[in-house]
Every structure is written in structure tokens, then in C-alpha cells.
Amino acid sequence: MRSGMRWIAGAVAVGLITAGCGTADDSAEGLSDALGTTSDINPKPREEIREGGNLRLATTSFPANWNTLSNDGNEGEIADIERPMMPRAFNTDAAGELSINRDYFTDVALTSTDPQQVTYTINPKAFWSDGAPITWEDIRSQANALSGRDKRFLIGITNGFEFVEKVERGVDDRQAILTFSHPYAEWRGQFAGNGVLFPKSVTQDPESFNNSLVDAMGPTAGPFQVQSTDRGQGRIVLGRNPNWWGERPKLDTITYSVLDRSAWVAALQNNEIDAVMLNSIDDVKNVRGTEGLVVRRAPGNRWRHITFNGAPGSILADPAVRVAISKAIDRQGIATATQNGLVENPRPLNNHVYLQGQRGYQDNSLPYDPAAAARELDALGWKLNGDVREKDGRKLIIRDVMYNDALWVQIAQIIQQNLAQIGVGLVIDTKPAAGYFTDVIQPGDFDAAQFIFQGDAFPLSSIRQIYYYDPNDLQGNFGRIGSPELNALIERTLRELDPAKAIELANEVDRKVFEEGHSLPLTQSDGSWGVRAEVANFGSPGLASYDYTKIGFVK
């Protein structure tokens, strides 16, 4: 249940409680640890929702690029803003089960296996906001842009389009037939989950793809559209699409305000916004102690991690050093410190591909063993010199980069303490939200970096994006780490159409990712939201997709 959509802020994270000092209370009562079973959105039928209203939400920064397929725009917060406006092929429920999104497609089907072909039949009512119909040419244009064949397209993810040999017109302009060069297991996720269809005006050439949505959103096709933006004030307002062909939205507008993460709960309490993801057990208690607010919670589909930088010349270029350092980080201690009181049984996330509670999830992680880590660094020639190890006159000091958020810093402090015990230094280097990925992560300006990945119902769709290493096409492999063996294993996994065999191969991929010291998963989100009690059909959805036409305020 993984996706490469990334998050910088602690927006779905949980606040730090000093290790050993947290107390379990009724905050965690009744909360399952398993993702994929629940959703907590205050479900109400349309007749109980009042007409109109403005849903006020928060985001940490203004979009750097509205094209979420691009490397600059491949961020979870941007995707969330765009979800009410853009076509997706499937909806998901809380269990991750799929159903065709019939607002956009009347049918999506695997119509041949030799060769593999997938046929998309587009709803004849579906139009872009500029009046152009959604056609097979939009699908063909996007498939070409994301194929990776033209490196001028600065893509954030190929999403399986590197395996699409051709896209042809079907029975009419409203049907596209995709023919694959070889089997692709996660074909359903190419225009679903965090995949989204953009118009051909955005994807038709590298210049449009990279730059046309830097300053503003282009044509959309959803129940809402951009009504106004103000970069200076940090405000984005979505309004009803007057030409929407589906069910009429209950809300008049959805307003996003740019707010520092530390101000979200106070803004909720002060009736400035209507819903926020919570950051700590204190946030949960503050929301519960405020009249008119409620905590909504279903196990989350976002996960925090550390990405290491293995580029040539970096302090962590040697995979054996990365592995040793990974063994010295007490991930259970981090889980206990950050989630005690928020979940019934805090534990680290031990898989890069699947989330806890999902079919396929198993523990492939490296053991926490600081003594072994110290021995391994000794054997590699990193010898203690005072408090810090040295080799060839270079001190083993890591610069850990993160968004400037108290939670990220506190987790880094735990890691700092862990590594000090084996003679490894860690410098905490905080960065502002604006430009975090564009200016820091993508260029590789870090030794270790902390941010959040967002999962969806398509577990294999992003393993190539994040763990495959092609120095000429990094996509989401910001640490520049990989091997021919891992690349080949990823290719085998993506070609496997048997679900059971694909799970076995995906876990082999996960083991290899751990063995290369690529990155280190920490914790899965507890999924806590603070929401105004009158808000319906919105909150903590788990894996379920929202129906934006039904979100609103109870009568």
C-alpha cells in the first residue's frame, strides 16, 4: 500500500512524548493497529447535509508546481488540494477495494493478456474546464510523458507507463487502448490512487509539462475548480464547477490557507479552519477539550522515514556504513516515544512496500543492534577518536535535514542520541517548507533526510520510482542508491501478474532495500484528525477516497 507521493510536514505525524514518560489513556481505546479496515468521516446521507458552506482547511506551503506528475509537484499536500478537481479511474473504500469512478470512465478493463491490453472507456459527459472533451489523446499524451523515454520531461514517477508500448484510439475518441510491452501488475493504479489524468495541454511536450503549471492550475475536470488564488496571502479557494456533469456538490467552496504546522490546532480551536491532521497526544487532548470539536481517527496510510544519501563522495556512500548506522537507530524507541497514547500498541513500520495490517506485510527489517553496528564500523576502518569516529581524516558526522517542525526535530534528537552511543555524530539541519523538495531534497543536499511518503491501494506502483536506480532518471530515488540486482528484482516484481507471487517478490525487494541501507521506515501514521463536529463525510478516511460532492455541514 505504498505510493511515492511525499510529504514534508508533520501533518500526519504524532507528537513526541519523552521516551518512558508517556502514559496510555483512553486516547487509544478501541483503535485498531491494522490499516485497511476502518474509516472515520462522520458519514451522513446527502439529505442530512445542508446546501452551501465553505470548508476551511490548512496546508503548509503554496504549490511549487501544480503538476503532481512532475518532480517539483509530486507532493501529498498539492495532490490533496487537487483531488476535488481531477479525474481518477477508481474509487477506493476503507478496505482498499476498488470500484470504477463512473464520473470519468464507464469501464476500465483488462481486455487482453497476450499482449496485455487495458481499455479505458471515457464517460461521454466528461469535459475539461476549458470546454475540451476528455479523450483518448489525453491518455496517450500522459503515457508518452511518463514513459521516461524523453528525459526532458522532469517526471516524478513513471507509474508503469515505461511498459506501455502504445496507446490507440478505440471505437471512438472516448476510448483508449493501452498495449503493454510486457505484463504490468499494477495497471489499475496508472490513473488512480495518487495517479491522476491531466489534459494533453499539460503533458504534450516537456516545456508544458515542466513549466505550464508552475504559477497556476490549468484545465480541471471535477466537481470543484480553482476559484481564486493569492500566493501573497497564502490562500487557495476552490468553488463549484458550474459545468460539472455529476452529482452537485453540497459545499459552495473549499478554502486552503497556508499555515505553519505548529499553528494548525490553535487555528482549529479559534474557528479559523474546520479540520486538521493532529500532531501529538497533546493535540488530541486539546481538541477533545474544545467544545464543538471531535477527534476522528482511522489508521493512516502515511509513513515517516529516513532517506540516506549514497551518492559518490557522500559520507554515506558505502552501503555497509549505511547498514551499520541503520542498526544503531532504535525505531521501536521512536515508535513508543511518538505514538504512546495514540495507538494501542506502538511499533515501528518494518516494510518499505506494504503497510501494517495489509496482505503482504511482513517484518523484513534490520535488527536494532548498536553493539553489532559499532563492530561493523570498526571493521570498516571507522575508528573512535574521542567521541566521534574517523577514517582517513574524515569524521563520521551526518547532516540530517528536515522540515522545521518540532516533531521532526525531536525525532532527530532521539536518533542523535542513538548514534552518539556508537561514535557517530548527527547535525540537525532544519529547512523551511517552501522549496524543501525543489531546493534541498532533489539536488541531494543532505546526508540523511526526513519526510513522509503517502500510501494508496496500489502497493507496487511506486517501487520503481523510489528504489530503482538510474543515474539519468532519479524520479523519487533522492538518495541515489541502488544496484543492478535490485533493479532486476523490481522489474521481475512489476511483471508478475499472479498476486501471491508478486507479494513474495515485493518482499524480496523490501529485504534488498534494507540490505542496501537505502532508507529506514520509522512509523505509520495513527491517522488522528481534529474536526468540527458539524462536518460530515470528511475526516480520517483510512484508505477510502472522499466523495467531494457529499462533504458538507450537517443541517
Give the model confidence (pLDDT) of 60-89 as tens digits: 999 999 999 998 898 889 999 999 999 999
Residue 458 confidence (pLDDT): 85
CA 142, 474, 488, 502 dihedral sign is negative
CA distances from 338 to 78, 186, 346, 448 (A): 26, 33, 8, 20
Considering the domain 47-64+218-295+537-554 in this protein, what is its CATH number?
3.40.190.10
Measure the CA angle with vertex 399, ends 420 and 74; round to 5°: 130
Residue 526 confidence (pLDDT): 87
Residue 2 confidence (pLDDT): 40
Residue 34 confidence (pLDDT): 55
Cα 442 to Cα 431: distance, rounded to the nearest angstrom:
14
- The neighbour count for residue 508, using CB atoms within 10 Å, is 17
Q: What cell numbers appear for 128 in the block?
A: 475539461
AA identity, residue 212: S
**Every domain range in the chain assigned CATH 3.90.76.10:** 76-212
Q: Does residue 233 sit in helix, strand or coil?
A: coil
Residue 344 confidence (pLDDT): 80
Query: Is residue 61 a contact partner of residue 438, using CB atoms and an 8 Å limit?
Result: no
Q: What cell numbers appear for 466 in the block?
A: 523510489
The string over 445-469, giving b where at least 16 C-beta atoms fall within 10 Å of a residue's C-beta and e elsewhere, is: ebbbbbbbbbbbbbbbbbbbbbbbb
Cα 83 to Cα 544: distance, rounded to the nearest angstrom:
13
Residue from 372, 318, 320, 326 nearest 348 by CA: 326
**Every domain range in the chain assigned CATH 3.40.190.10:** 47-64+218-295+537-554
Residue 14 confidence (pLDDT): 25
Q: Is 369 exposed, middle or buried (0-12, 13-18, 19+ CB in 10 A)?
A: middle
pLDDT average per 10 residues of sequence, the chain (555 residues): 46 26 44 64 97 97 94 89 96 88 97 96 98 98 96 90 96 98 92 88 98 96 98 97 97 97 95 92 92 91 93 97 98 93 88 86 97 98 97 97 88 97 98 87 95 83 91 90 97 92 97 98 92 97 92 97
Q: What is the CB-side half-sphere exposure of residue 285 using CA atoms within 13 A? A: 10
| Domain 76-212 CATH superfamily | Dipeptide-binding Protein; Domain 1 (3.90.76.10)
CA distances from 335 to 22, 179, 300, 370, 546 (A): 12, 44, 14, 17, 29
Of the candidate CATH numbers 3.10.105.10, 3.30.420.40, 3.30.530.20, 3.30.70.3270, the domain formed by 302-457 belongs to: 3.10.105.10
Residue 441 confidence (pLDDT): 93
- The neighbour count for residue 21, using CB atoms within 10 Å, is 8
**Every domain range in the chain assigned CATH 3.10.105.10:** 302-457
Query: Is residue 495 a contact partner of residue 486, using CB atoms and an 8 Å limit?
Result: no
AA identity, residue 376: E
pLDDT tens readout for residues 20-30: 223 334 555 54
Residue 74 confidence (pLDDT): 86
